[in-house]
Amino acid sequence: MTNISMRSVSKFFDGGDIIANYELDLEVEDGEFLVFLGPSGCGKTTALRMIAGLETPSDGEIYFDDDRVDDMPPADRNVAMVFQNYALYPHMSVRENIEYPLKVRGVPPEERDERVAEIAELLHIEDQLDSDPASISGGQRQRTSLARAIIREPSVFLLDEPLSNLDAKLRLEMRSELKRLQNELDITTVYVTHNQEEAMSMGDRIAVMNEGTIRQVAEPEELYRRPKTAWVAQFIGSPPMNLLEGTNRDGTIRVDDENSVPAARETTSADVSVGFRPEDAAVTTTEPDTDWRLRGTVKTVEPLGEYVLVNVDVGDTTVNAKVDRTDVESGQQVFLSVDPDDVYLYDGDGELVA
């Protein structure tokens, strides 16, 4: 059982011209499922590769428990990794692929067969063992790749966008399968994805990354409820949080000529952003009896079955509201109202005003 600790880990490429990661500080608890979430090119894969040992940090230290590992080759770290494209050896059968890590480590054939059978049953690929990786389905390849990763009981389990090559239905299925596996095996897991639904549903905690740094590490619920920065707020949620820039004067925030709202919390910052989640907004045609309302014009109405998405122009910004049902139409003057408890305030630096 292992906990991972990254201390001010940075990674530069091309002699410092490209900064892939900058001063990452992160603790992953023993048995935890941690997700690196961020847009493409944010450095999450590089961070994972440093934990794996495929990249060496330019700066900083990585510990597995009390052992410093950043100078160790991957083989000595006892990590297992699942790659986005599965990285199955095309010239080996499914069985040979799965047993390869054991073979390299000199485990005798009888024991290998036993373990392969065990793992194949756990992952429901018993019938594919003698097939070629090229002749099995994407989901089965994924399972093979997982089987190869867990067969030698690694102390750290690393997954790099493992579900992104699967179709939507299979992705859902594998998501719960992965979560089940991780619970059963109780291995410290780091999972990289750009898909926030995956991150929210699987992660014990999520590290949100952008531009090579970790913006916030939190449990899914907290990440959604209390995004620490405006950037995280606009990244999490689908559609993400509405943010309106405004100027703060004496506790009143002026959003545009028509709209001013009371500041929910005190801040000395003059340039601020107010935010609220689309699902917390109500759309009405008559002026509601609350200070916290915005006047705007309906741009489009998108009925999505489960809910209706109303896009409203407020000043220069388009604001989303998720409502159960609505009669408003495009071009109509409407009011958006939000419970002040559901309003977020970010200062000029984009930090949440607590």
By the criterion CB under 8 A, which residues form the site for other proteins?
Answer: 52-54, 73-75, 79-81, 83-85, 87, 89-91, 100-101, 104-105, 148
What are the structure tokens assigned to 141, written together? Answer: 């390849």
Quote the CA–CA distance of 5 and 70 in Å, as a whole number.
11
**Nearer Cβ to other proteins, position 100 or 231?**
100
Contact 100, 148 (CB under 8 A): yes
CB 253, min distance to other proteins, A:
50
CB 7, min distance to other proteins, A:
23
Quote the CA–CA distance of 53 and 25 in Å, as a whole number.
17
CB 83, min distance to other proteins, A:
5
CA distances from 327 to 227, 282, 283 (A): 32, 12, 10
**Nearer Cβ to other proteins, position 73 or 262?**
73
**Nearer Cβ to other proteins, position 162 or 278?**
162
CA distances from 80 to 112, 191, 319 (A): 17, 12, 44
CB 59, min distance to other proteins, A:
22
Tokens 């994924």 identify what position?
Answer: 142
Quote the CA–CA distance of 146 and 279 in Å, as a whole number.
37
CB 95, min distance to other proteins, A:
15
CB 274, min distance to other proteins, A:
45
**Nearer Cβ to other proteins, position 63 or 100?**
100
**Nearer Cβ to other proteins, position 19 or 54?**
54
**Nearer Cβ to other proteins, position 75 or 270?**
75
Question: Of 309, 200, 323, 147, which is closest to residue 191 (Cα–Cα)?
Answer: 200
Work out the angle at residue 142's Cα, subtended by the Cα atoms of residues 140 and 239, and round it to the nearest 5 degrees.
Answer: 120
Name the β-bridge partners of 42: none
**Nearer Cβ to other proteins, position 74 or 315?**
74
Quote the CA–CA distance of 316 and 314 in Å, as a whole number.
6
Provide the residue type at 309 as one letter.
Answer: L
CB 52, min distance to other proteins, A:
6
